[in-house]
Chains A and B, each alone.
Chain A
C-alpha cells in the first residue's frame, strides 16, 4: 500500500515550498520531492523595460542577497554597453559582494542553522531558534550578530542603505569611496576576523556530534561548479567557470561565462516551479552539480588569503579528493566569511581605492549581455537581450538555488531514507529532512518570517486517503 508524507510548508525557508515523501508497501521510503510552489516571474516582467533599469529591478528579487543580483545584472548591462569598468569601481564592487557574502552567510549559519547544531536536531522546536541560541551560547550569538552587522554596515557605507542599494550601476558604481568610510571599515576588520575565527573553532568542535548527519546529508558524488581566477583560485566577482567531478578531477575549465548555455542545460519537472539546471555534456540527471560555498572550496586551488588557506587545508581533510557531504556547507560558509574579511582588508589597502574615477559611460553597443558573479549561495547568471533602443526583449536568470535543485532533492531522499520511519513520525525526523535543505541555504529562505514556529503539518496517508499519522505545529 503506497503511502505519502507531506511536509507543507517547509520551515526556515521561503514559505512556498513543500516536501512529499513516498513510502512503499512495506512503509519504507521510496521517493522524496522538494517542491517549490511559487512563481516569481521576473524574467517576464522585465520585458519591455529599458536595460538600465535592470539592476534596480533585479535586485528586488531578494531581500537577503540583493547585491548579488545588482552585480550580475550590472555586469550584463556592462556587456550591453561594451564598457570598460574603471579598476577602482571593480574593486569597490568586489568589496560590496564580499560584504554581501559575509552578512548572508552569517544569517544562514548563526540565525538559521546554528540553533540545530548547538541545541540538537531533536531539541524542543519552540526553543530551537536564535533566542535559544543566545541563551545557550551568548558569545556565539554576539559574534553572529556582529558579523551580520559588519557586512551590512559595509554595504550601507558603500551603497547608502543596507538592503537594495542602487549604487552599482552599468559602467561602474555611482559614488567613490570616502576615506572616512574606508577607515571605518578597516577599523571594524580585526573584530570581525576574531569573531569569525572563534565561530569556526566552536563549529569544528560542535560538529563532532553530527557524524550520522554528515554521513547522510546529501552525501553523494556530484559535479561542482563555480568561478575561479585564471590561476584556479577562489573568485566571487569575475573569472571563468570551472567544473570539477566527485574525485576532484577538472572536467571543464576556463569556460567563458558568456558560453554558459553550451555547458548548462535547464530541465523542468511538472511538480516544481524551480528549474533543474544540469551539466549539458552529461545530460539530465547524470550532470547534477552543486554550487555555493562547498562547491567553491572543492574547485579552487587556493582561497588566496593566509588564514582562509589554512582553514581550506584542514577542510580538505574532511573528504578524500573533494568534500561530498552537504553538511559541510556550514563549515565552508564560515571559511568563506574568513576569506571575505581578509580580502576586504586587501582591497581597501589598494592605493587607488579612493580614486574618484568610478564609472564609464557608453551607448548600446551589443544587443545581448551576460553577467555572472558568485552569490553567497552560488553562481548567479543574468542574461538579457535588448532591441536597438535598449528595451529588454528577453531575459534568463539562473539563480544559485536552482543549480542545487537536483542535489537538494536527492539530499531530501537520502535523509528521508535514513531517518524516516514510515510507521511513526517525530519532530527530529521532520527537522532533519528540513535541515538538509537548510544546509544548502536556498534562496527560498530569503523571505523566511518565522523560525521554528511556522505552521507546519505532516500527514501520513494511505493510498485511499486515510490518515495514518499526523504531526502538526501551529504558528
Chain B
C-alpha cells in the first residue's frame, strides 16, 4: 500500500498540457521508496479513488493557464464533501476525486495541487522552452512536498514501508 500518492495529469500530445505526465515519469526515478506511488494519467477518473483512499497524502501535478509561463503554485485542496453535484463522466477535478474516496471508502487524505503555468497547449509532444526550463524546479518542489509529508505517516507505518 502506498502512503503518499503523486498523480501527474495531462495530455502529452498537447504541449505543456502534458507537463504533469512528464513530471510524473521523471519523479518515478526520484521517489523510489515503496511508500511513494507515482501515477501518470490523461485525466482523473473514479478508478483512482481506491488508490487515493489508501494514501495519507495525494499530490496532483498539473499544468495551468496564466500569464507567466513556468510560474509554480502550490494549493492545498480538500474533498468537495458528500452530496456535492458533479458534472463528471470522463473527467474529475482533484477535490472531486478526494470526495469519491471519502464517500466510497471513508478516507480523507490530505491533498495538494502543484501546478505550473504553461505557455503552449497546441498539438505537440514537446514542452515549451520556458516550461522545459522550469521543469527541474517543479520536480524539486514535488519531491520536497512528498518527502515533507513522510512525517504524516505513523512510526509503525514508516517502519513497515519506508526503505532506504
Q: Which residues of A are at the interface with B, using a C-beta cutoff of 8 A?
A: 12, 63, 111-112, 126-127, 129-131, 134-135, 138, 141-142, 145-146, 148-149, 152, 162-163, 447-454, 475
Q: Taking the nearest CB of chain A, how far is it from the CB of B8, in angstroms?
A: 13
On chain A, the residues within 8 Å of B100 by CB distance are 131, 134
- Known contacts A134-B100, A134-B104; A163 and B42 CB within 8 A of each other: yes
Which of B85, B86, B87, B99 has a CB less than 8 Å from the CB of A475? B87
Query: Do B85 and A127 touch (CB < 8 A)?
Result: yes
On chain B, the residues within 8 Å of A129 by CB distance are 85-89
Query: Do B104 and A453 touch (CB < 8 A)?
Result: no
- List the A residue with the shortest CB-CB distance to B85: A126
On chain A, the residues within 8 Å of B86 by CB distance are 129-131, 451
On chain A, the residues within 8 Å of B99 by CB distance are 131
Residue from B82, B86, B91, B103 with most neighbouring chain A CB atoms (10 Å) = B86
Q: Which residues of B are at the interface with A, using a C-beta cutoff of 8 A?
A: 41-42, 46-47, 49-50, 82-91, 99-100, 103-105
Which of B83, B84, B87, B105 has a CB less than 8 Å from the CB of A453? B87
Query: Do A449 and B90 touch (CB < 8 A)?
Result: yes
Which of B46, B82, B90 has a CB less than 8 Å from the CB of A145? B46
Residue from A131, A148, A451 with most neighbouring chain B CB atoms (10 Å) = A131
Q: Taking the nearest CB of chain B, how far is it from the CB of A376, in angstroms?
A: 16
Q: Taking the nearest CB of chain A, how far is it from the CB of B21, in angstroms?
A: 11
- Known contacts A130-B46, A149-B47; A142 and B104 CB within 8 A of each other: yes
On chain A, the residues within 8 Å of B105 by CB distance are 142
On chain B, the residues within 8 Å of A131 by CB distance are 83-86, 88, 99-100
A249 vs B50: C-alpha distance in the bound complex, in angstroms? 46
Query: Do A450 and B47 touch (CB < 8 A)?
Result: no
- Known contacts A134-B104, A135-B103; A145 and B47 CB within 8 A of each other: yes
A63 vs B90: C-alpha distance in the bound complex, in angstroms? 10
6 contacts between A and B (CB under 8 A): A127-B85, A129-B88, A131-B84, A134-B104, A141-B104, A450-B88
Which of B50, B82, B91 has a CB less than 8 Å from the CB of A449? B91
- List the B residue with the shortest CB-CB distance to A144: B46
On chain B, the residues within 8 Å of A63 by CB distance are 90
On chain B, the residues within 8 Å of A135 by CB distance are 82-83, 103
- List the A residue with the shortest CB-CB distance to B87: A453
Which of B41, B84, B88 has a CB less than 8 Å from the CB of A451? B88
On chain A, the residues within 8 Å of B104 by CB distance are 134, 138, 141-142, 145
Query: Do A450 and B89 touch (CB < 8 A)?
Result: yes
On chain A, the residues within 8 Å of B87 by CB distance are 129, 450-454, 475
- List the A residue with the shortest CB-CB distance to B83: A135
A-B pairs, top 9 by smallest CB distance, nearest first, are: A451-B89, A453-B87, A149-B47, A131-B86, A450-B87, A448-B89, A145-B46, A134-B103, A126-B85
On chain B, the residues within 8 Å of A141 by CB distance are 104
A451 vs B96: C-alpha distance in the bound complex, in angstroms? 14
- List the B residue with the shortest CB-CB distance to A161: B40
A377 vs B98: C-alpha distance in the bound complex, in angstroms? 32
Query: Do A149 and B50 touch (CB < 8 A)?
Result: yes
A452 vs B85: C-alpha distance in the bound complex, in angstroms? 10
Residue from A111, A126, A145 with most neighbouring chain B CB atoms (10 Å) = A145
A162 vs B42: C-alpha distance in the bound complex, in angstroms? 10
- List the B residue with the shortest CB-CB distance to A152: B47
A126 vs B88: C-alpha distance in the bound complex, in angstroms? 11
On chain A, the residues within 8 Å of B47 by CB distance are 145, 148-149, 152
- Known contacts A146-B50, A149-B47; A138 and B103 CB within 8 A of each other: yes
A414 vs B26: C-alpha distance in the bound complex, in angstroms? 55
On chain B, the residues within 8 Å of A111 by CB distance are 46, 89
A450 vs B91: C-alpha distance in the bound complex, in angstroms? 8
On chain B, the residues within 8 Å of A451 by CB distance are 86-89
A368 vs B47: C-alpha distance in the bound complex, in angstroms? 40
A454 vs B89: C-alpha distance in the bound complex, in angstroms? 11
Q: Taking the nearest CB of chain B, how far is it from the CB of A51, in angstroms?
A: 23
- List the A residue with the shortest CB-CB distance to B42: A163
- List the A residue with the shortest CB-CB distance to B84: A131
Query: Do A12 and B42 touch (CB < 8 A)?
Result: no
A162 vs B90: C-alpha distance in the bound complex, in angstroms? 14
